[in-house]
Structures are given as structure tokens and as C-alpha cells.
Amino acid sequence: MPSTSGTTTVPAVSAPQQTTNYRAMAMLTTLFFMWGFVTCLNDILIPHLKGIFDLNYTKVMLVQFAFFTAYFVFSFPSGKFIDFFGYKRAMVAGLVTMAIGAAMFVPAASAPSYPLFLTSLIILAAGMTILQTSANPYVAVLGPPRTASSRLNLTQAFNSLGTFLAPFFGSALILAAVALPPGTVQRTVAQAGNKVEMHDFSHVATADLHAYRLAQSATVKAPYLGIAAVLVLLAVIIGFFKLPKIEAVEPHGEVHDSIWHYRHLILGAVGIFVYVGAEVAIGSFLVNYFEQPEIGNMPEAAAAKMLVFYWGGAMAGRLLGSALLQKINTGTLLACNALVASCLVGVSMSLNGHTAMWAILAVGLFNSIMFPSIFTLGVDGLGPLTGDGSALLIAAIVGGAIIPELQGLLADRIGIHHAFILPVICYLYIAYYGFRGSRHSPASTSVTERTS
């Protein structure tokens, strides 16, 4: 039976390396950084597109729905792509696909077309799915199995560095001020008990409104073209970089087993679903949340800059967590972080002003270790089925599509302040998984034991 005590690790599928390949790991951190950076820009796009196309919360959350649904749609095909072409070519293909999606923001902004923006995000996320499906298990086998959880937290810290820097980049370049068209009326409306300042475009001439939307949309062109260029450059560098050749995390010969026999993996997939959903839902609403008069009463650009504290906390927490996970049980640390996160969201819901604002921002610190910890707990003991288990966990990232959309529905009905009850429920499940759900059931004996 696999051990359920101590730091949980990803098993070696082929002969494990006795020392970590730091050169290859350093190269891979650039991928973690880039998909963190690009993902966090969605939090800037949401309030920007909401204003351009006059969308309610339910409709604007389609940004996250389109982006994260791509993980579910493309995760298993990505796994097969990796099996056929190998890790290195898959990473190059993922970067090129991401570059195409980023470049498509130019015609989307030129239209301007909300459906075309969503299409661009889907293509961007499809490439990111290939990177996620390959990079996470690849990092796991770049060194000793006993330090896999710590190593994955360390690389994820660079993912958080990308999310930390993105708000500076996005707020400065994307949320540029554009003069409102003639005839625009400022009005205050009541949404689910909250007074919200909105622009009324009903008296604006069609030509003036189109010109305004063109000018607002144009601010995304240069940033996403720059991102596309960087992604292409990275694809070229990865293509020429000599990554160590490792055995794919697939069965060697016929294995009479299935990932569905592993209860801790299935519950781990639910954990990834609710974690990504909660993290993305909170990040997506922060700008609009801080604009509320009773919370931060901030202009949009200033509210966007506050995101650095949310994502910066995740970066600091992963660096700290990488050290702590070498001494503390992964499940225990995960559960404690989840309980604190749920309490902080509850405090933000219960109070107003800067206390509510800083309580919700502090959640980022405790989000830090959740994804890599759930991931390593979920694939622990899978042996030759680690690849299939990884694909299932990556597919569960679709929670980032569904839960923010549900929170958008709640926000339209009960107000943005009280809609945060949904992440509270998500964190309580993660606490259960850390304490109980991640334990191996008697049926989930390792493949090597069951087939020997």
C-alpha cells in the first residue's frame, strides 16, 4: 500500500532521477510564468469588456467560462498528443497555439466583437492546456520522487510571479482611459440591494458608440501582440533546448487497472475543480468588488492594481510552502490553508470597508499551495497510470469556467458582496480532502502491487 503519512510525492514511473535537473527545471519555469501571466490578464479583461459591451456579471463571466472550459475539452486530447509526439514537441505546439490565440485579439478588437474575444480566449487556453498537461508531470520526474511535491510548489511559485506582475501590465496598458461618447449619461442603479454607478448609452448615437468601443477595444491590441511575440520566441527556444528525454508516464505493456479505481484521485479531481473555481471566481470579481462604495470606493484602474496583493500572496505562499512541505504532511497543511481561506472570505462577506477588502486579498496567500498539493495527493500511488491521472486532474480545471459563472448568477441576484458564499463552500470541501479525502482506500493499491 502507498504510504499516507509524511510528505506526499508523485511516484516515479520510469527509473527515478537521484538529483534534480535544475537546468531543465529553470527552462520549464518560464512556461509556468507565462501561463500564470496570461491567465491573470483575464481579471483585467473582465471589467474592461464589461464596460465596452455593457454586460451584466453573468454575461461577462463567459470570459472565464470560455477560457477554462477549454481545459476540459482539450485535456485528454492533449494527453494523447503528448503520447504521440513527446513532451518537447507538445510544449512547442502549446506555445504556438497560445500565440495564435493572443494574436487573434487584434481582429477581435478591430471588429469589436465579444464572441470573437471569447474565441481568441478558447484558442489561447487550448495551447495552455497542452502546457499544463505536460509540464506538471514532467516536473515531477525531473528529480527524486520524495521531493516532487516541494518541487512542483516551487515551479508554481513562478506561475504566481506571472500573476503578480500581470495586474501592473494590464492596468497600465489595457485599462487606458478613453473619453466617453457624447450623450452618455451617468446613472445610479440598484443591483441586488447595492447602488452601482453605470453609464447609460441609450441616448448615444450608434456611430459614436461604435467609435467609443473601437477606441476602448484597441487598448488590448499592443499588449496581446507583445504576448504573442514572446510566446513564439519561447517556442523557438524550447525547440532548440536539449530537454532530458524521459519515459512518458504511461503503462509499460498491458496494465489491468483503471484510474477510476482510485478514490483519492477522483476526490482530488473534485478538489482541483473547486479550488480553481474559487480562486478564479474571487480574482475575477475583485476589481468590481473594490469599486463598490461600501468596500473600496476605488476607480477601476486603482482597483486593478490591488490584484497584485492577491496574486503576490500566492507567490510568497508557494515559496514558503515549498520549504514547509519537506517537513509537514501535505494533506494537513492543505486542509489548514483551506480553513483559513474560508474564514477570510467569510470575514469579507460580513464586514465592509478596508477590512473586507484586505480580508479577501489575504486569501491569495492561503490559496498558494492548494493546486500543487491537491495535484500530488491525487496522483500519489498511481504508478504507470500517472499520465491518465494527470489528464483527469487537468480536465478538472474546468471548475474555473463553471464556478465563476455561478457566482456571476448569484451576484446579479443577491449582490456581489454576498455571492462570495460560493468560494466558502469550495474551501470547506478542500479542507475535507486534505484531512480525509486524500487518504488511500484499501482498493487503491498501487499498480505495481496489483500487477506483480
Residue 410 CB burial class (10 angstroms; 0-12, 13-18, ≥19) = buried
Distance CA 265, CA 388 (A): 11
The confidence score (pLDDT) of residue 136 equals: 80
**pLDDT digit string (tens) for 214-253?**
888 888 999 999 999 999 999 999 999 888 776 544 434 5
pLDDT tens profile 254-299: 555 788 889 999 999 999 999 999 998 998 899 889 989 999 999 8
From residue 282, give the alpha-carbon distance in Å to each of 8, 18, 22: 28, 40, 34
pLDDT mean across residues, the chain: 82
State the helix-helix crossing angle for 22-53 and 206-218, rounded to 10 degrees.
170
Give residue 98's Cα distance to chain centre: 15
Q: Give pLDDT, residue 1.
A: 33
Percentage of the chain surpassing pLDDT 90?
Answer: 38
Distance CA 289, CA 408 (A): 12
Inform me whether the pLDDT recorded for 452 exceeds 60.
no
The mean pLDDT value for 424-441 works out to 93
List of residues 6+ apart from 266 with CB closer than 8 A: 260
pLDDT number for residue 190:
54
Q: What is the pLDDT of residue 126?
A: 94
DSSP label of 358: H
Q: Which of 109, 122, 158, 179 is nearest to 316 (CA)?
A: 158
- Report the distance separating Cα 439 and Cα 112, nearest Å: 50
* Residues 395, 172: Cα–Cα separation, whole Å: 33
Check pLDDT > 50 for residue 11: no
CA distance 156 to 97: 22
Mean pLDDT of 310-317: 88
Distance CA 367, CA 334 (A): 9
Residue bearing the bigger pLDDT, 99 or 18: 99
How far apart CA 235 and CA 91 sit, in angstroms, is 8
Instruction: Return the pLDDT at 353.
Output: 93
Task: Work out the average pLDDT over 295-309.
Answer: 87
- When pLDDT is averaged across residues 443-448 and rounded to a whole number, the result is 43
Query: Would the pLDDT of 140 be above 80?
Result: no
- Please give the Cα distance from 388 to 407 (Å, whole number): 31
Residues sharing a CB contact under 8 Å with residue 89, sequence separation 6 or more, in sequence order: none
Domains and CATH numbers, the chain: 22-176+219-243+259-450 (1.20.1250.20)
pLDDT of residue 202: 60
What confidence score (pLDDT) does residue 16 get?
A: 47
The model's pLDDT over 346-384, given as tens digits with 9 standing for 90+, comes to 999 999 999 999 999 999 999 999 998 999 888 887 766
pLDDT tens digits, one per residue of 109-123: 999 999 999 999 999
Rounded mean pLDDT, 399-420: 92
**In angstroms, how far is CA 263 from the centroid of its own chain?**
24
Mean pLDDT (whole number) for 399-410: 91
DSSP one-letter string for 182-247: TT-EEEEEEETTEEEEEEE-TTS-HHHHHHHHHHHHHTTHHHHHHHHHHHHHHHHHHHHS-PPP--
Phi, psi of 262 (to 5 degrees): -105, 100
Name the least confident of 24-28, 136-140, 372-376, 416-420. 136-140
